[in-house]
Amino acid sequence: MIKSPYQSLEDRFRRMDAVSGAMSMLHWDMSAMMPSGGASSRAEQLATLSSVHHSMITDPEISDLLDGAEADLHLNNWQQANVREMRRAWIHQAAIDADLVEALSRACSASETVWRTARPDNDFKAALPGLEEVLNLSRQVAEAKSEKLGVGLYDALLDQYEPDGRSCDIDVIFDDLATFLPDFLDDVLSQQAAGADRLPLQGPFPADTQRELGKTFMTALGFNFDHGRLDESAHPFCGGTYDDVRITTRYDEADFSSAMMGVLHETGHAMYDQGLPKEWRGQPVGSDRGMSIHESQSLLIEMQACRSPEFLDYAGPKMREAFTGAGTAWQTENLLRRTTHVEKGFIRVDADEVTYPAHVILRYQLEKAAIVGDLKMCDLPGAWNEGLNNILGITPPTDREGCLQDIHWYDGAWGYFPTYTLGAMTAAQLFAKAKHDKPEILGCIAKGDFSPLMSWLGEHVHSKGCLLNTRDLLKEATGEELNADHFKTHLKTRYLGS
């Protein structure tokens, strides 16, 4: 029996998904298991699989098959969405030739390697040539994709992480936030200064106990350990595949909160992956809907749900018991004060949810300028310091605490940064609607029961895969387009009690 173009595409994309899944597992292993001496053969494995994947999707027959499938009138809406996502993936891969892919991949590896020592050494000059080369090649990618996608240079890169994401939309929302934040932050800081001090929690906090506690919370959230694991790595992440989700964290025996909040954050990501539509496994339409939605799921769990007094009513006693803590420092009020403390700082990954958007907006503005050629990398340290001062009123004393802190640009992830804050706003918007639809959500969380929240997310987000684009997904789930209002309301309620 002859296969239809659509069926042939399903077969081919299933094979590509298997190759991607293999790569994802090898990445996890590299971070969580691999001994240092395995690095060079692992790099060879990943480079080879990456080129295998690229040649699969750029196979000359794919183009005709896509045309054929798009003309097929018998496809249902999931299948149509599947073809739409296949076309998107094809455009992104076929826009750039194998030589550019490989040149960029090598430049990123080389640049990232230099950055790993340049950062602790506070040596921006050492990292500059690699960064320039990565930016130069990323701009070539942007040009090639810009033409195929019919969008501007920056949006062509943004689209890789945030399908259909456009900077003109982001500008509106980020401007709104940037206007709101400075005065609001002043208010929060003065109210915080007038309130009670954060009391320290007495350690040490053994890693094994932290791990067990993390697993307890993962189980409460609904993480399915038949389809995933919790391990350790230097930088926490959520990897693996939808059927085998590998999350990691890092334990600090002097402070359990970073590992715990990390586990909650990654579990938010993991629940999305585990909840993707089972009948569309291996197909583009069965995968997650880009980075802002993915980040919204982790931030909804970590920030919206688990820095709440309700979560601490449930989790606080478990933490006390696990670490045999006692005294007022372990009461919900102090625990809440600790998890919602606000402070201006230089480092994005250490930032609280109030100041975090400022870090993102700074990077977004700088990378937009760099991609269109308005910012040279040799001028980056000055632009960074000036920008942070404008938005937060502080200036990093060193590049290590400034433009050397994040791996993204040095590793080729240009256009990624806005998804963090888009995710935070999406999380606030989704959580507000979920609580509206199911008023029992917070009360249940106070008893360790996440099922009302998770079933709402499962129905409105996880099970949709890529059936809808991001805009429609959010509109169907919340009745509104993405906007900053819910995020601002959330911040005002939590930090000013108004």
Q: Which residue numbers are catalytic? A: 266
User: Using alpha carbons only, what angle is made at residue 22 by residues 465 and 76, rounded to the nearest 5 degrees?
Assistant: 30
Q: Are strands 244-249 and 228-232 parallel, antiparallel or unpaired?
A: parallel
Residue 241 is a binding residue for a second copy (CB under 8 A) = yes
- Given candidates 34, 57, 103, 394, which one binds a second copy under the rule CB under 8 A? 34
Does position 36 interact with a second copy (CB under 8 A)? The reply is yes
Question: Distance between CA 458 and CA 471 in Å, rounded?
Answer: 18
- Token match 């890693």: residue? 207
Minimum Å distance from CB 55 to a second copy? 10
Shortest approach of a second copy to residue 253 CB, angstroms? 19
Does position 98 interact with a second copy (CB under 8 A)? The reply is no
- C-alpha 251/C-alpha 113 separation (Å) is 25
* Mask for 411-450, x = binds a second copy (CB under 8 A): ----------------------------------------
**Mask of contacts with a second copy, 273-312, x by CB under 8 A?**
--------xx------------------------------
Query: Distance (Å, rounded) from C-alpha 421 to C-alpha 434?
Result: 20
**Rounded Cα gap, residues 48 and 31, in angstroms:** 19
Query: Out of 4, 15, 207, 331, which residue is the one contacting a second copy (CB under 8 A)?
Result: 15
Determine which residue in the list 163, 228, 290, 396 makes contact with a second copy, applying CB under 8 A.
228
Closest approach of Cβ 52 to a second copy, in Å?
Answer: 6
Stretch that binds a second copy, among 121-129, 211-219, 238-246, 487-495 (CB under 8 A): 238-246
Choices 13-21, 131-139, 304-312, 468-476 (CB under 8 A): range interacting with a second copy? 13-21
- Could you say whether residue 337 binds a second copy (CB under 8 A)? no
| Site for a second copy contains 211 (CB under 8 A) | no
Q: Which residue, 224 or 331, has its beta carbon nearer to a second copy?
A: 224
Q: Residue 102, interface with a second copy (CB under 8 A)?
A: no
Among 4, 7, 8, 19, binds a second copy (CB under 8 A): 19
Nearest approach, Cβ of 69 to a second copy (angstroms)?
21
Residue 215 near a second copy by CB under 8 A: no
11 sits near a second copy (criterion: CB under 8 A): no
Using the rule CB under 8 A, which residue among 4, 49, 317, 485 binds a second copy? 49
Closest approach of a second copy to the CB of residue 324, in Å:
23
* Contact range with a second copy by CB under 8 A, out of 30-38, 77-85, 92-100, 361-369: 30-38
Distance between CA atoms of residues 169 and 470, nearest Å: 13
How deeply is 134 buried, as exposed, middle or buried, from its count of CB atoms within 10 A (0-12, 13-18, 19+)? buried
Among 10-18, 247-255, 335-343, 368-376, which window interacts with a second copy (CB under 8 A)? 10-18
Which part of the chain contacts a second copy (CB under 8 A), choosing from 21-29, 112-120, 319-327, 405-413? Answer: 21-29
Q: State in angstroms the smallest separation of the CB of 215 from a second copy.
A: 13
**Total of chain residues touching a second copy, rule CB under 8 A:** 38
Which region among 219-227, 283-291, 394-402, 473-481 touches a second copy (by CB under 8 A)?
A: 219-227
Residues in contact with a second copy by CB under 8 A are 14-15, 18-19, 21-22, 25-26, 29, 33-38, 40-42, 44-45, 47-49, 51-52, 224-229, 240-244, 281-282
